[in-house]
Structures are given as C-alpha cells and as structure tokens.
Amino acid sequence: MSNSFINTWILASRPKTLPAAIAPVLIGTAMAYESGGFHLLSCLAAVVGALLIQIGTNFANDYYDFKKGADKGDRLGPIRVTQSGMVSPDTMKKATYFVFSMALLSGVYLVVRGGWPIVIIGLSSILFGILYTGGPYPLGYNGLADIFVLIFFGPVAVGGTYYVQTLEINNIVLLAGLSPGLMSAAILTVNNLRDIDNDRKIGKKTLAVRFGTSYAQFEYTSSVVIGLLIPLLVVLLISDKYYSLLSLITVIFAIPLFRKVYTIKGRELNNVLASTGKILLIYSVLFSIGWLL
C-alpha cells in the first residue's frame, strides 16, 4: 500500500473535522466516570463509532457534492478527492458505504448494552450524515444543516455516550452537550462563510447565503461564545463542579478568531476553521478535567 494511497484517504477523511466527533464522546465519558458509571468497552466503541460516522459523512459529502457539481476548480476549501480525480466517484461511493457499515458494526455492542435508544441514535446519525448532501432535499443545500449539527454533535452525542455507559440520562448532561454542538455548528458556519460566493453561484442556500456575510459572522461568534458559557450555566444550576469552569480558559484562543472572521475572507478562513476544531478539542479536555476534579 503506497504512501500516496494512504495520504489520499487521509485527505478524504478531513482530519481537521474529527475533533467534532471526539469532543462530545470525551465530555460524555468524563461525566459518566464522575457519576460512577464509566464503562471502558462502551467508551471505546463510542469513540470508534463517532469517528467512523464523521468520516463516512465526509466521504458522502465528497461524493454528493461532486455529483451535484458543487466542487468546481475555484474551490476555496481543502482538495476534494473525487472532484480532483484522485478517487473515482464509484470508489468514493463504495468507500462511503463501507465506512458506514463499519460504523454499524462497531455499534452492535453498544446496541446490546444500551438497547433501542442506541439503535435510534446510530441509525439517525448515519441517515443525516448521508442526507447532509445526499437525497432530494440535502440539508447542507437548504440551510437546515446547522441545527442538525448542533443537535447530533451536541446533546445527542454527549447524551448517547453518557447513556451507553451509565444506562441513564439527565438534563445536566444534555445541557452540557450544547457546548460541543454549538462549537461544531461554528465550524460549519465558518466553512459556509468561506464558500458564500461559490455557494450562491450554484444555488446552495446555506444560512450564510440566505442571510448574508454579517449574519454568518454573528452566527460564528455567538455559537462559540454561548458554547463557552454553557459550563457557567451548569454550575449555577447544580451549585457544584466549579472546576469545570477551567474550560473558560478556551476564550483566550477564541478571541483572535473572532477578529479574523470579521476581517478576512475566502481561502484565508481555512485557518479559522482548523483553529475552531482545535478550540473545540481544548474546551472538551479542560471541561472534562474540571468535571473530574
């Protein structure tokens, strides 16, 4: 297996988006551990499943955007392997099915342990991963993707991780899940802000296209700010877990990005997208450590 083959599929998996899959599992696991319900095999299966669903979604996005003509030569984002000819459309389609099948396989143990709630979470996550750019009414083309990213990378992912380990759920866990959901939505928003002109040309009606640049800039900053403030609300509600406020340190890394979102555009926003993913991961680590102290 050549290095170029491996590098092609690493590129197709879009590593910079993977923190959005890891962060909620980390938070849900920390909260499960603190409650005395940590379960190692469930944790590992949740991590693998989350990563596979994210990669499968990225593969599906690569394939369906190519089929819809959304990836042109003037693309501002990272190289799409189908559009560039590095991978044939048929191969990418098969790879998408394979990765989602592996995600289903990794979820079998979780289903045995957690029952029907895990079946619903797993199947709906895969379904919306495909419908993000596939199907007759793709979410990414009509402005609905933001809300689904918020839900599935937030309360659903954190709550599902917590539930499959503890076999119970509570509102505080779901509230805490809003943070990674909001910051994942911010990653999508800066992606749409970068592509606003190209998306407008091809009729891709993201929220950035529908409401304009100023709206997208506001959506990005407000999503990050509110996401970072969620631990404060959690602490106020339970009058405990004050060390989880360590996660507020993340704002130090976020402030420079707020300025960039309002002052740069186009391809330069790729760095903001990658940095937002890093901020999400830093936040999840700090919150998790603080929750366990």
Q: What is the pLDDT along the chain (293 residues), one digit of tens a residue?
A: 556 888 889 888 988 888 889 999 999 999 999 999 999 999 999 999 999 999 999 999 888 888 877 666 566 667 778 888 888 999 999 999 999 999 999 889 999 999 998 999 989 998 888 888 887 888 888 889 999 999 999 999 999 999 999 999 999 999 999 999 999 999 999 999 999 988 888 888 999 999 999 999 999 999 999 999 999 999 999 999 999 999 999 999 999 999 999 999 888 999 999 999 999 999 999 999 999 99
d(CA 250, CA 177): 17
CA distances from 182 to 60, 69, 163 (A): 23, 29, 21
CA angle centred on 124, ends 188 and 112, rounded to 5°: 130
d(CA 268, CA 224): 19
Is the pTM higher than 0.85? The answer reads yes
Provide the token pair at 208: 């950035």
d(CA 209, CA 122): 31
Question: Tell me, what's the pLDDT at 271?
Answer: 93
CA angle centred on 277, ends 272 and 278, rounded to 5°: 95
What residues does each domain of the chain span? Answer: 3-292
